[in-house]
Chains A and B, each alone.
Chain A
Amino acid sequence: MSAPILRVENVAKRFVTATGTVEALAETSIEVREGEFVAVIGPSGCGKSTLFNIIGGLDSADGGRVLVEGKPIAGSHRDIGMVFQEESTFPWRTVVENVAFPLEVAGMGRRAREEKAMRFVRLVGLDGFERRYPAELSGGMRQRTALARTLCAEPRILLMDEPFAALDEQTRMLLGEKLIEICQALKQTTLLITHNLSEAVQLSDRVLVMSFRPGRIKRTVAIDLPRPRTSDVIASERFASYLGTIWEDLKAEAAKGLAALETARRAPAGR
Chain B
Amino acid sequence: MRALRAPKPLSPPPRLPAFFGYGRPVRTLLHAHRSAPALWGLAALALLAAALEALVRFGLVPKLVVAAPTETVVAIWRLAAEEGLLRALGATLLTAVAAVAAAAAAGLPAGYWLYKHPRFGLAYRNWLGALFAAPLVLVYPVVLVLFGRTYASTGFMGFVVGFVAIALYTREGFAAVSPTLVRVGRAFNLTPRQEFWKILLPAGAPMIFTGLRLGTIYALVNIIGVEYLINFGGLGFLVSETYDKFDTPGMYGAIVFVILVSGGMLWLLKRLQTWLRPA
Contacts and interface: CB of A to CB of B under 8 A. Distances in A.
9 contacts: A56-B187, A58-B187, A76-B186, A76-B188, A90-B203, A92-B202, A92-B203, A102-B188, A105-B189
B188 A92 contact: no
Interface string B178-208: 1011011011111000100011001101000
B41 interface: no
Given A58-B186, A92-B203, 12 more contacts: A57-B187, A76-B189, A88-B178, A88-B183, A90-B181, A90-B203, A92-B202, A92-B205, A101-B198, A104-B198, A105-B188, A105-B190
Interface stretch (A9-17, A78-86, A122-130, A192-200): A78-86
B189 A78 contact: yes
Interface in A76-121: 76-78, 80-82, 84, 86-88, 90-93, 101-102, 104-105
Contacts of B279: 91-93, 133-135
A84 B183 contact: yes
Interface residues of B, number: 19
Contacts of A92: 202-203, 205, 277-279
Nearest to B279: A133
Q: In terms of DSSP, what is the predominant structure of the interface of chain A? A: loop
Interface in A47-74: 56-58
Contact of B194 (A80, A105, A150): A105
A233 interface: no
Contacts of A93: 279
A86 B189 contact: no
A87 to B, nearest CB: 7
A82 B279 CA distance: 25
Contacts of A135: 279
Interface of B: 178, 180-181, 183-184, 186-190, 194, 198-199, 202-203, 205, 277-279
B178 A76 contact: no
A56 B183 CA distance: 10
Given A84-B180, A105-B194, A135-B279, A90 B187 contact: no
B203 A82 contact: no
Contacts of B203: 90-92
Given A105-B198, A133-B279, A135-B279, A88 B181 contact: yes
A178 B39 CA distance: 48
A153 interface: yes
A86 B278 contact: no
Interface size class of A (residues with CB under 8 A): 20 to 34
* Closest 4 A/B residue pairs (Cβ): A133-B279, A82-B187, A86-B180, A92-B202
Contact of B184 (A57, A88, A133, A134): A88
A223 B190 CA distance: 37
Nearest to A153: B188
A56 to B, nearest CB: 6
Nearest to A136: B279
A146 B102 CA distance: 39
Contacts of B194: 105
Contacts of A150: 187
B183 A58 contact: yes
B210 to A, nearest CB: 15
B204 to A, nearest CB: 11
Contacts of B199: 90
Contacts of A82: 183-184, 187
A241 B183 CA distance: 38
Contacts of B202: 90, 92
A133 B202 CA distance: 14
A124 to B, nearest CB: 17
A104 B198 CA distance: 10
Nearest to B194: A105
Contacts of A80: 187
A151 to B, nearest CB: 13
Given A92-B278, A135-B279, A76 B205 contact: no
A91 B187 CA distance: 18
A252 to B, nearest CB: 32
A159 to B, nearest CB: 9
Contacts of A101: 188, 198
A98 B199 CA distance: 12
Interface string A184-227: 00000000000000000000000000000000000000000000
A18 to B, nearest CB: 18
Contacts of A77: 189
A78 to B, nearest CB: 7
Nearest to B179: A86
A49 to B, nearest CB: 11
A93 B188 CA distance: 17
B180, B187, B277: which has the most chain A beta carbons within 10 Å? B187
A88 B180 CA distance: 6
A170 B243 CA distance: 70
B188, B194, B205: which has the most chain A beta carbons within 10 Å? B188
A81, A105, A133: which has the most chain B beta carbons within 10 Å? A105
